[in-house]
Structure 1
Amino acid sequence: MTSHSPPPTLARHLWLEAVMILSGSFSGRRHRVEGKTPAKPGEQFAKALMRHAFVPIDPASDKTRALGWVNPRAILDEDLRWDRLALGPHVVLGLRIDTRKVSRTMLRARLDQVLAERRREKPGARIPREERLRIAKALETEMLVAATPSTAIQEVWWNLPASTVWFSSSSAKLNDEMTDLFERTFGLKLVPLGPFTLAEAHTEAAGKGGGALERAKPTDLRVR
């Protein structure tokens, strides 16, 4: 019986990734890295990571969201040296997303409370709509400053030899944000990969030429 071995080098990486996706071993999305990666990216990319590292939300600001790079194994560690992020042929990055928001239910309750106090102070007096909006905005700002951000960490696995990136979230919004941050950080473009594009890249790497899948014909599996 003939044994079937995975294709070598680049084709092997693509083959393994395709198997993992099809078997359900991974969730998330894949991307192809386009552009030239330096032969020794360590120092250059470490500086780039620091320029785009995560910065916490300033409690006094009106910002509701912050996003940036961290070490996924030590998210409070500010040391983003390349060798601390390397894992075999991969570089493993953490994308930290902090979000803070005001509960609309609590905001409404606080607003009702303040308006009730105003009516007790001035019985029968009408509170203009503009004044109600001003009070609501002031309360929202006060509550936002006091709010503790929620933190989410997503992982980015960058396979340098295969020029592929796996992102642990399947959210379209997060993928767009990660792609934008990756491109601004490293100056390299990310192209989304689906099962078809992965298989097409595999056929090209195996020397079968581009468009092999498009030329393929369906197999008739019906029992006759």
Structure 2
Amino acid sequence: MPVLRGAVTFSRFRTEPSKEAPSDVKRWLTKGLKSHAFEPIDRRSEDERAAGFVELENAEASDFSTSNLFYGEYALFSFRIDTLKVPASMMKAELDKWTSAFTKENSRPPARAEKNKQKLELKQLLRQRAVPRTSVLDVTWNLKTQQVQIWAASRKTVDEISVALEGALAVKVIGITPASMAQRAGIDDKALGPTAELIGMDLPATASVEDSHGEG
């Protein structure tokens, strides 16, 4: 968990309520996170992915009790993503093994319908055995400034968490970048380019060592 230790890659945002600001920020935040809490993948379904909010130090919990969510002026929590996929190579190997056994036992290869039925059964069996790949990304929320930090390097993941926050809490999540800050301040985008001084355009095209030190 990068919030407490490890890597320090994060993206910064500010939030604005879509409606009127909540009177009880802590209660509002707890209720919102619970409404979009992580739920494990149903292995009986076709779902291959599950995502949602969890507690910072326990990716299996989503109670968001006061002692586990609020730290001074901050709310600290995480966003968990689980992916459950049966590798195509494993499915093929198991299906080939079954086909060989079926052909030997019945003195004929399986019909298409028989093979498709077995494929579905194998997929379900392998899903029960598969271990989900879990990724947990931390989020910090300053209750005073309403600034949010998402501790993730992937732009796609950062965007997903931003959308999840907007859905859970009915807020607008706005990136804190030079471009967005300039836009709020009414500064033209063209003014954000490097100045002539910065790239050295005001310097002479050539300058000798003798000139720089003077004549002596």
Normalization by structure 2: what TM-score? 0.75
Aligned length: 192
Letter of the 1:194 counterpart: T
- Partner of residue 53, structure 1: 37
Asked if 1 retains the 8 angstrom alpha-carbon contact of 2:99 and 2:109, the reply is: no
Q: 1:77 to 1:141 in 2, by over 3 A?
A: closer
Q: 1:37 to 1:83 in 2, by over 3 A?
A: farther
- Partner of residue 213, structure 2: none
- Partner of residue 197, structure 1: 180
- Where in structure 2 are there 5+ consecutive unaligned residues? 1-6, 205-216
Partner Cα distance (2:76, 2:130) in 1: 31
Letter of the 2:166 counterpart: E
Q: 1:29 to 1:131 in 2, by over 3 A?
A: farther
Per the TM alignment, residue 67 of structure 1 is displaced from its structure 2 partner at its CA by 1.3
Partner Cα distance (1:109, 1:92) in 2: 44
2:88 counterpart (104, 111, 126): 104
1:34 aligns with 2:16: yes
Letter of the 1:186 counterpart: L
- Partner of residue 187, structure 2: 211
Alpha-carbon RMSD: 2.7
- Where in structure 1 are there 5+ consecutive unaligned residues? 1-24
Q: Spell out, residue by residue over 1:166-220, the C-alpha distance to the aligned partner (whole angstroms, 9 max, x if none).
A: 212232432332122211211101123434324x27xx6xxxx421664467132
Asked if 1 retains the 8 angstrom alpha-carbon contact of 2:141 and 2:149, the reply is: yes
1:186 counterpart (163, 169, 190): 169
Q: 1:61 to 1:213 in 2, by over 3 A?
A: closer
Moved more, 103-112 or 77-86: 77-86
2:69 counterpart (81, 85, 99): 85
Partner Cα distance (2:144, 2:165) in 1: 17
Query: Aligned residues: percent identity?
Result: 26
Q: Spell out, residue by residue over 1:70-116, the C-alpha distance to the aligned partner (whole angstroms, 9 max, x if none).
A: 11122234430345322343321200112211122211110010000
- Partner of residue 129, structure 1: 112
1:159 aligns with 2:131: no
Instruction: Tell me the secondary structure at the aligned position of residue 29 of structure 2.
Output: helix
Q: 1:213 to 1:90 in 2, by over 3 A?
A: farther
